[in-house]
Amino acid sequence: MKAPRFKSWLATLPSLNVQQRRQVLDALHPVVGLDQVVALIDQIRTPGRCCPRCGGTHCYRHGFANDLQRFRCCACGRTFNDLSGTPLARLRLKCKWLDYSQVLLDSLSVRKAADRLGVHRNTAFRWRHRFLSWAKLDRPDALNGIVEADETFLLESQKGSRKLDRPARRRGGRAGKRGISRELDCILVARDRHGNTIDAVTGRGALTAAQLEHHLLPRLNRGALLVSDSNAAYRAFSRKHKIAHETVNLRAGVRVRHGVGCAFHVQNVNSYHQRFKAWLLGFRGVASRYLPNYLGWCWALDGRRISSPEQLLRIAIKVINR
């Protein structure tokens, strides 16, 4: 639209009634959302833009495609855009990405998210795990000071699978064996007194020292004090790697032991377990293969670490073309 025609159209806006103004806003909302997303992507990507194939930094503009600026690498000739190599590559409806980020912050179910955005439920489900693919990796580099560690268990689920390797259970069901068995997914959570948290799905069944070496040791400061329950896996892990270790005998009813100037307990971790399981109830069951994404999602929301749709979108696309 040329400038004189636009000015005349703009001058007629005050004469619109309420219903007409709402129609204008509804028509402009997707375009404004698209402009915000494209501007945010360009802002994040401009520093350090490189080719996803060869890593070259010399490129030139090569037209537009799917509302994004395309580039061609001077070294290898490959064309790419700012989402190439990211989990959000090839996703459509960019105008609704910020609204969907708000849906994740509100912890809505797939069907409620689809109804709010006006998309198919399969799209809402696919977007959920694309947006969380890298957000779950945004974790602290190390745990320091007094580090509490404990595990919790969820019933293994094959929700959404077309073929099951066991008889189907009605409405989630229950484990066929009492206690800890291979029918349960083990979730390890370690948390220091500053609130830094790491977690991992270690596998099925009881926790082992080898799993602690794989998931906990790389993020545990060697000068930290590890506090756990009386599980033998923690003792073997601490003894092997010479890590200071204190235990709390929960089975005997001892929840807190007082030391010199500090208290030994795992209440922070257990409280995190309760918050995670209570938050998970709103999704009516989660498939075991997606548990890492939900752990990262809960960690992002815990303590309001991520408080805006723009911040969540930044995390979802921050590692680009790497």
Residue 252 in domain = yes
Beta bridge partners of 185: 154, 204
* Beta carbons of 126 and 64 less than 8 angstroms apart: no
Assess whether 68 and 190 both reside in one domain: no
Residue 217 in domain = yes
- Supply the DSSP string of 116-169, one letter for each residue: HHT--HHHHHHHHHHHHHHHTT---S-B-SEEEEEEEEEE---TT-SS-SS---
Residue 213 in domain = yes
Surface-to-core class of residue 98, CB atoms within 10 Å of its CB (0-12 exposed, 13-18 middle, 19+ buried):
buried
Residue 120 in domain = yes
pLDDT for position 30: 64
Assess whether 121 and 154 both reside in one domain: no
Residues whose CB is less than 8 angstroms from the CB of residue 214 and which lie 6 or more positions away in sequence, other chains included: 202
Please report the beta strands in the chain, taking only residues with DSSP state E, as ranges in sequence order. Answer: 59-65, 68-73, 79-80, 146-155, 184-192, 197-204, 225-228, 244-247, 257-258, 263-264
Assess whether 91 and 154 both reside in one domain: no
Q: For the domain that residue 230 is a member of, what is the CATH number?
A: 3.30.420
* Full residue range of the structural domain in which residue 218 is found: 146-158+180-286
Residue 297 in domain = no
pTM to 2 decimal places: 0.85
pLDDT for position 74: 94
pLDDT for position 210: 96
Q: CA distances (Å), 38 to each of 31, 33, 34, 45, 307, in order?
A: 11, 9, 6, 11, 20
Assess whether 151 and 106 both reside in one domain: no
Assess whether 131 and 151 both reside in one domain: no
Encoded amino acid at 277, one letter: K
Beta bridge partners of 197: 191
The residue with tokens 């350090």 is 48
Assess whether 240 and 279 both reside in one domain: yes
Residue 229 in domain = yes
Per-position pLDDT tens, the chain of length 322 = 788 887 887 788 788 888 877 777 777 666 767 888 888 888 887 787 888 888 888 999 999 988 899 999 999 999 999 888 888 988 999 999 999 999 999 999 999 999 999 999 999 999 999 999 887 888 888 999 999 999 999 999 998 888 888 888 877 788 888 889 999 999 999 999 999 999 999 999 999 999 999 999 999 998 999 999 999 999 999 999 999 999 998 877 878 888 777 889 999 999 999 999 999 999 988 999 999 999 999 998 887 778 888 888 888 876 433 3
Assess whether 212 and 271 both reside in one domain: yes
CA angle 272-315-202, nearest 5°?
45
Assess whether 105 and 150 both reside in one domain: no
Number of domains the chain contains: 2
Residue 291 in domain = no
Select from 135, 169, 198 the last residue of a domain: 135
Assess whether 81 and 109 both reside in one domain: yes
Assess whether 121 and 37 both reside in one domain: yes
Assess whether 42 and 130 both reside in one domain: yes
Residue 251 in domain = yes
Rounded CA separation 320/82 (Å): 7
pLDDT for position 319: 47
Assess whether 128 and 154 both reside in one domain: no
* Beta carbons of 50 and 80 less than 8 angstroms apart: no
